[in-house]
Amino acid sequence: MDLRQFLMCLSLCTAFALSKPTEKKDRVHHEPQLSDKVHNDAESFDYDHDAFLGAEEAKTFDQLTPEESKERLGVIVDKIDADKDGFVTEGELKSWIKHAQKKYIYGNVENQWQEFDMNQDGLISWDEYRNVTYGTYLDDPDPDDGFNYKQMMVRDERRFKMADKDGDLIATKEEFTAFLHPEEYDYMKDIVVQETMEDIDKNADGFIDLEEYIGDMYSHDGNADEPEWVKTEREQFVEFRDKNRDGKMDKEETKDWILPSDYDHAEAEARHLIYESDQNKDGKLTKEEIVDKYDLFVGSQATDFGEALVRHDEF
């Protein structure tokens, strides 16, 4: 087990259909991976399909015949070619991949919007969010589930105010997206770090020491011997996380841990797709080059059902 491979993100609990307040989530160790599939082109292009289309759209393409895949891929290529010069560059491909990966975020916001926009004015106020999320919980000062809802509400209000750029305590859709998914917005990253430190810093000294770092990931539960991945994480803390070697992580060191900026998965995938598809090696792709490699970009499988099972709305 390698913790560094986990797909970790800090965001609000997405089960708002039950109006349950936010809960502690796993840590962000890297920019989210583009797919949970193995990136091994010798066996399959599943990772590339998820990266290029997004996981849900990739499932849709799996139901298409090769001819249908190529036709729809051609439409997508026209969208990727932002400057309409007939070529797809690495930058355009990178932007498209990031767009595909953010679709789930905006879809999540859309799914929740109607629940919180109680007066249907196209905005969500803090009062609306608080009443929907915490109204029934706050009626019971001593709930049986062990959650401190008042404390959670204070934390959510702080995040809401941070997301609310104009300070009117009323969120536009973009501000509400920043509230639900703060790790996606640069101006929200400080709150992500602050919430992470509050979760892990058990002695409230403003730092994360080694035992707090390990304790957030692993509980001994009576086991004397730690798994190898825990030992590896101890080494990671000493050698890489604690940059100034003072035995603890401060705010900047914690930020480097949970929100590293040294690797861009979308950029790496764009380079990979161009390398695999650029037949004339000019560093950019034509529509023909992309469609010729449709199995790499979108894949497909001929089925007995054909178009009857596939939705035809534009991606």
Task: Give me the pLDDT at residue 121, please.
Answer: 96
Give domain status of residue 2, yes or no. Answer: no
With b meaning 16 or more CB within 10 Å and e meaning fewer, what string describes 78-107?
A: eebbeeeeeebbbebbbebbbebbeeeeee
Domain that holds residue 172: 64-207+250-311
Give domain status of residue 23, yes or no. Answer: no
Tell me the range of 48-62, 88-102, 271-285, 294-308 where mean pLDDT is highest: 271-285
Q: Which residue has the higher pLDDT, 5 or 133?
A: 133
Give domain status of residue 46, yes or no. Answer: no
In the chain, alpha helices (H):
46-53, 55-61, 66-80, 90-116, 126-134, 149-163, 173-180, 189-200, 210-215, 228-236, 251-258, 265-277, 287-292, 294-297
Count of domains forming the chain: 1
Give domain status of residue 107, yes or no. Answer: yes
274: left (phi over 0), alpha (psi -120 to 50) or beta: alpha
Average pLDDT of 136-160? 82
What 3-state class would DSSP assign to 283? coil
Average pLDDT of 240-264? 90
Give domain status of residue 134, yes or no. Answer: yes
Give domain status of residue 215, yes or no. Answer: no
Question: For residues 167 and 160, what is the distance between their CA atoms, to the nearest angstrom?
Answer: 10
166 pLDDT above the threshold of 80? yes
Give domain status of residue 159, yes or no. Answer: yes
Residue 106 confidence class, pLDDT cut points 50, 70, 90 = confident
What pTM did the predictor assign? 0.65
CA dihedral 60, 66, 67, 69 (to 10 degrees): 30
Give domain status of residue 31, yes or no. Answer: no
Pick from 229, 308, 298, 300: which is nearest to 47 by CA?
Answer: 298
Task: Give me the pLDDT at residue 11, please.
Answer: 37
276 pLDDT above the threshold of 90? yes
